[in-house]
C-alpha cells in the first residue's frame, strides 16, 4: 500500500521527494482525448456510435451486393465520407485548442506554500 508524499519546495527533503516522485506522475493538466497515434481509431469508434453514421454505413454495405444495388457504389459512399471528414476536422480542431490551453495552464507560474 503506497502513499503519495507531497513536500513543499523548500529543498529540505530532496532525497525523499526524489524517491517518492518515481512512483507517481506529475500534476499536469491533460484534457485532450487524442494523441497522434490514437486519433483515427478513437475518432472512428466514436463516429460509428452515432445512429446516422451507422445508417449510412449500412446503406453502403447493402449497396455492395448486386441484387440490392440501387445507386452506384461511389455515390453511396459520398455522404458518409463527407460527414466523417467534417466531424474529424471539427474534433481535431477542438482537441488541438484543448492541447494549447493545457500547455498554457501547465506552463503558468504557481505559488508554493512554505511555512
10-residue mean pLDDT series, the chain (115 residues): 59 60 72 92 94 89 81 82 95 96 83 64
Strands (E) across 15-79 are located at: none
- Say if pTM beats, i.e. exceeds, 0.85: no
pLDDT at position 77 is 87
- As a whole number of angstroms, the distance between CA 6 and CA 20 comes to 9
pLDDT at position 60 is 86
- As a whole number of angstroms, the distance between CA 77 and CA 94 comes to 26
| Percent helix, strand and coil across the chain, each to the nearest 5 | 55, 0, 45
Residue 56 has a CB neighbour count (10 Å cut-off) of 19
Residue 36's alpha-carbon distances to 30, 32, 42, 95, in angstroms, are 15, 11, 11, 11
- As a whole number of angstroms, the distance between CA 58 and CA 36 comes to 29
pLDDT at position 74 is 80
Amino acid at each position: 500500500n503506497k502513499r503519495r508524499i507531497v513536500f513543499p519546495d523548500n529543498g529540505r527533503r530532496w532525497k525523499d521527494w526524489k524517491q517518492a516522485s518515481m512512483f507517481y506522475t506529475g500534476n499536469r493538466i491533460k484534457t485532450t482525448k487524442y494523441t497522434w497515434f490514437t486519433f483515427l481509431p478513437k475518432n472512428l469508434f466514436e463516429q460509428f456510435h452515432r445512429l446516422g453514421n451507422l445508417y449510412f454505413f449500412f446503406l453502403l454495405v447493402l449497396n455492395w451486393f448486386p441484387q440490392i444495388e440501387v445507386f452506384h457504389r461511389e455515390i453511396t459512399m459520398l455522404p458518409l465520407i463527407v460527414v466523417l471528414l467534417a466531424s474529424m476536422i471539427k474534433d481535431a480542431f477542438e482537441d488541438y485548442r484543448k492541447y494549447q490551453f493545457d500547455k498554457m495552464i501547465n506552463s503558468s507560474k504557481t505559488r508554493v506554500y512554505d511555512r
